[in-house]
Structure 1
Amino acid sequence: MRRAAARLARLWRAPATGAGPAAAPLRLPGADWAWRPGPWAGGGPENGARLAPAGCDLGDGVRLFHDAESPDIQAARRVGGSGAGRPLGIELPRFDGGFLSLAIALPAAARAGLGRHHLIGIDVAFGEARPARVFARLNLRQGPNAEALLRDLPETDLTGTEFDLWPIETDPARVDEGWIDLIFEAPLPARMEIRDLVIARRLRAAL
């Protein structure tokens, strides 16, 4: 996707602004809010991989889930490179599960002023051995009710998708919690690298 590639290329050249929801927001043309989650902005495990059991916290509200029985899964953030991105590497030497996913909690700033006139997008830059099947799922919760939108990501190293909030049944202005699942379907490579990941919100063009 050319738009995803262009957005990530601009952000990759920009200096990092720090990790976490409280960090200075990214300036992304056309977006009224943009954010690089912690593992790609300086938070989470650094050089020297650590074991990554299901449900482990990678920093800044990003959690790793999988259904594998093998204890060998490891995660590490590579530091010392040029540009803003801090690639996240995941080692899967003997992956025996059906899926692996990253659950990325949306900070309060992403939900502030949210409405049906918004699109929420995710752009991802893969490094080594991109998995063949990757999905993004936006989850919005309002009280006991939850709604999910699922998208299949194009099979390119620079990829992304957007979620249109106009047709959903949930009132975006009353959402209590939101998160995006980045889902990788088996078979998975022995190692994969996510060079950068950015979530942004923008206004949908008038119908």
Structure 2
Amino acid sequence: MAAEQPSLLNRILFKRTLRRWAKIADGAAKTPISTLRKQRSNALRMLVHLNRFVHIADNRLALPLIGSQAIQKSHDSDWAWRPEAWTGPLPVQGMASVPTKSMLGSEISLHHDCELSELSLRQLRNTREADLAPYGLRMDVFKFDGSFLSLVIDFPEASVVGLRRKHLIRLEPIIEMEKPLEIFARLNIKHGPNTEQVVRELPLHDSVPLVEFDLAYTKLNEKRVDSMWLDLIFEGPQMNQVTLRDLTLSRRPRADV
């Protein structure tokens, strides 16, 4: 159903209101103080609603669209996913002085062993036309006195349904940094009492530093796969800002040899 169009009467009233406030603004320099105070109070009351409207409208009209699941993937992929932090607004969009194991949303957690946390993590809105993900994730690291820092992403149950050793898991992040650092991606797959781990260093010199995890070289028990998650491990992160503009995962069967 098409949105209801403003009536002729509403358009006339809107134009009159605009003219009235334009006249008030033009005369503000000479308006008596008592009158000016009342006009300012009325303007501020309207401004609260106008600012709220503009904020919501900017978010909805900005590219890409909130909730977008547009993912570049190979034609033979049988599963593809973008975590919630890159898809829609989180209930809590940021944290400062982040304690270890803190969750941002239901899928992302930050892990470290700092005595004093000088870390912040927050969701931000992507507005560039080139971005496929509606949101990004930004981490600021100031003084860092720990020995490790990792961002853990828990995968949905669908990621392990039908998972086989013949599968390749592809990670495609888009990353911005203030200064160079090393980032490692560790894929973890729990099967029964055991956990398989495959580690890859992200080729950060590439515009999209994609890596693939080949499960053929693991000892995965296909009948007992329980869950899967990803660790992004940051080496030497102090005094740096890292922005993950996008992060997608997909899987496909490897070609038969």
Q: Give the TM-score range, shorter chain.
A: 0.7 to 0.9
Which residue matches 1:137? 186
1:127 and 2:176 correspond: yes
Structure 1 range deviating more: 111-120 or 121-130: 121-130
* 1:90/1:191 contact within 8 Å kept: yes
Distance 1:101 1:36 in 2: 19
Q: What is the distance in 1 between the residues matched to 2:169 and 2:112?
A: 25
Q: Are positions 1:171 and 2:221 aligned together?
A: yes
Aligned to 1:205: 255
Tell me how far apart the structure 1 counterparts of residues 221 and 179 of structure 2 sit (CA, whole Å). Answer: 35
- The answer to which of 100-109 and 171-180 deviates more is 171-180
Query: Could you tell me which amino acid in structure 2 is paired with residue 104 of structure 1?
Result: I
Superimposed CA distance per residue, residues 33-84 of structure 1 (whole angstroms, 9 cap, x where no aligned partner): 11111111124443x6544211011123211111222222111111262444
Partner of 2:122: 76
1:50-199 matches, cutoff 5 A: 50-79=96-125, 81-82=127-128, 83-85=131-133, 86-129=135-178, 131-156=180-205, 157-199=207-249
Which is richer in strand? 1
1:199 and 1:42 map into 2 onto residues whose CA distance is: 17
Q: 104-113 or 163-172: which moved more? A: 163-172
Sequence identity (%) = 35
Change (3 A) 1:187 1:106: closer
2:82 pairs with 1:36: yes
Match of 1:21 in 2: none
Q: Greater helix percent: which structure? A: 2
Counterpart contact for 2:179–2:240, Cα < 8 Å: no
3-state secondary structure, aligned to 2:159: helix
In the superposition, relative to structure 1, how do residues 98 and 59 fare at CA in structure 2: closer, same or farther (>3 Å)? same
Task: Mark the runs of 5 or more structure 2 residues left unpaired by the alignment.
Answer: 1-62
SS of residue matched to 1:74: strand
Residues 165 and 172, structure 1, Cα contact 8 Å, conserved in 2: no
Q: What is the SS of the residue equivalent to 1:39? A: helix
Instruction: Provide the C-alpha distance between the structure 2 equivalents of 1:67 and 1:152, rounded to a whole number of angstroms.
Output: 22
Structure number with greater CO (CA < 8 Å, separation at least 6) is 1
Give the match for residue 41 of structure 2: none
When the two structures are superposed, what TM-score results if normalisation uses the length of structure 2? Answer: 0.66
Please say which structure displays the higher CA radius of gyration.
2
TM-score when normalising by structure 1: 0.81
Q: Residues 25 and 34 of structure 1 are in contact (CA less than 8 Å); yes or no, is this contact kept in structure 2?
A: no
Compared CA separation, residues 69 and 131, structure 1 to 2 (3 A):
farther
